[in-house]
Structure 1
Amino acid sequence: MLQIGDQAPDFTLRTTTGATFRLAEQRGQRAIVLYFYPKDDTPGCTAEACSFRDQYEDFQDLGAEVIGVSSDSEASHQKFTQKHRLPFPLLADEGGKVRKLYEVPRSLLGILPGRVTFVIDKQGVIQYIFNSMQRATDHVSKAKEVLAGLAR
């Protein structure tokens, strides 16, 4: 399992706009809040995404970019982004390769992919890991707390 203090594994995935996102290209520029979620347009995932949306400016002010990742397709992400006016990119991890790279566990019942948020600093080091299926919106507040601490 990845730990706080580990270098965040690099990866490349497509975004909702068809652009390519590569984590290594972000190093030295800004912190990254990388959140893995089970599925577009489900109640918990929608609440989480909308909470990140509603506080997105706070993340920008803290020098961070929010990136959402699920196994849904680019088309599904595009609909989800448009429907909820999400200002941050969603990445299509079809096949779950990046989820495996980040060792994101499945839900307790093993049915759904897990919900885990990583706060990665500007140097690409994991500063925080939060794993909770039930407390979807807590991922947002916890990530903000960690980023505020890093800014001090």
Structure 2
Amino acid sequence: MAQSKKHLAVGDAVPVFSLTDQDGKAFNIKDHIGKHKLVIFFYPKDQSMVCTKEACQFRDSFKEFTDAGAKVIGINSGTVASHKAFAEADKLPYTLLSDPDNKVLNMFGVKSKMFMTGRETFVIGLDGKIAYQHAAMMEGKAHSDNALQFVKGSKN
């Protein structure tokens, strides 16, 4: 029986992956490590209530994230078309990546809750290592607020 992937923690290297964004373009994490702090948030479903609140909080804080040198990236198993519709409907200015088989979610070790994939946020430092992690299934707004507070206070 296959072992499940370990949950990544602060100090672990970010896994190398490539996914497709909401515009159908390839996104390879290797192209971004060392250029920006990366705020990667995993969320269960496009345009669901808590996920929309979370996504809109990242949108509303987007300028503060970019001013602090961070790139915001949302990931879930939704299709490219679903992500495009979500980004357009809610005016999301950041990258949404389609992870159709939850391969990247599993690389990070994000655990499912009940019948949904987990909600978890990771901040990757310029060194390519996880510098911060936050998990809270029903508190979408807290993901952006806490990650922003961390990014503003971190040097890496």
Could you say whether these structures have the same fold, taking a TM-score greater than 0.5 normalized by the shorter chain as the test?
yes
Query: Where does 1:102-121 land on structure 2 (aligned, <5 Å)?
Result: 102-107=108-113, 109=114, 111-121=115-125
Percent of pairs with identical residues: 37
5+ residue gaps, structure 2: 1-6
Q: Which amino acid counterpart does residue 84 of structure 1 have in structure 2?
A: D
Task: Give the SS at the match of 2:24.
Answer: coil
Residue pairs, 1:23-34, within 5 angstroms: 23-34=29-40
d(CA) in 2 for partners of 1:90, 1:73: 10
Q: Structure 2: how far apart are the matches of 1:95 and 1:147?
A: 29
**In structure 2, distance between residues paired with 1:41 and 1:124:** 30
Deviation at 1:142, TM superposition (A): 0.7
Equivalence for 2:147 = 143
Q: Aligned partners of 2:122 and 2:34: how far apart in 1?
A: 17
Structure 2 counterpart of 1:5, from 3, 11, 15: 11
Distance 1:99 1:127 in 2: 18
The number of equivalent residue pairs is 150
Give the Cα separation in 2 of the matches to 1:2 and 1:101.
Answer: 8
How much has 1:127 moved relative to structure 2?
A: 0.5
Q: Note the aligned Cα RMSD (angstroms).
A: 1.0
Q: Do residues 35 (structure 1) and 25 (structure 2) align?
A: no
What's the secondary structure of 2:45's corresponding residue?
coil
Q: What residue in structure 2 maps to residue 86 of structure 1?
A: 92
> Separation in 2 of the partners of 1:124 and 1:20?
19
Contact 1:62 1:151 in 2 (8 A): no
Matched, 1:132 2:131: no
- Deviation at residue 27 of structure 1 after TM alignment: 1.5
CA distance, structure 2, for counterparts of residue 79 and residue 36 of structure 1? 18
Correspondence for 1:61: 67
Question: Unpaired runs of 5+ in structure 1?
Answer: none
2:76 counterpart of 1:70: yes
For residue 151 of structure 1, report the CA deviation from its aligned partner. Answer: 3.3
How far, CA to CA, are the matches of 1:2 and 1:151 in structure 2? Answer: 21
Moved over 3 A (4+): none
SS at match of 1:17: coil
Secondary structure in 1 matching 2:149: helix
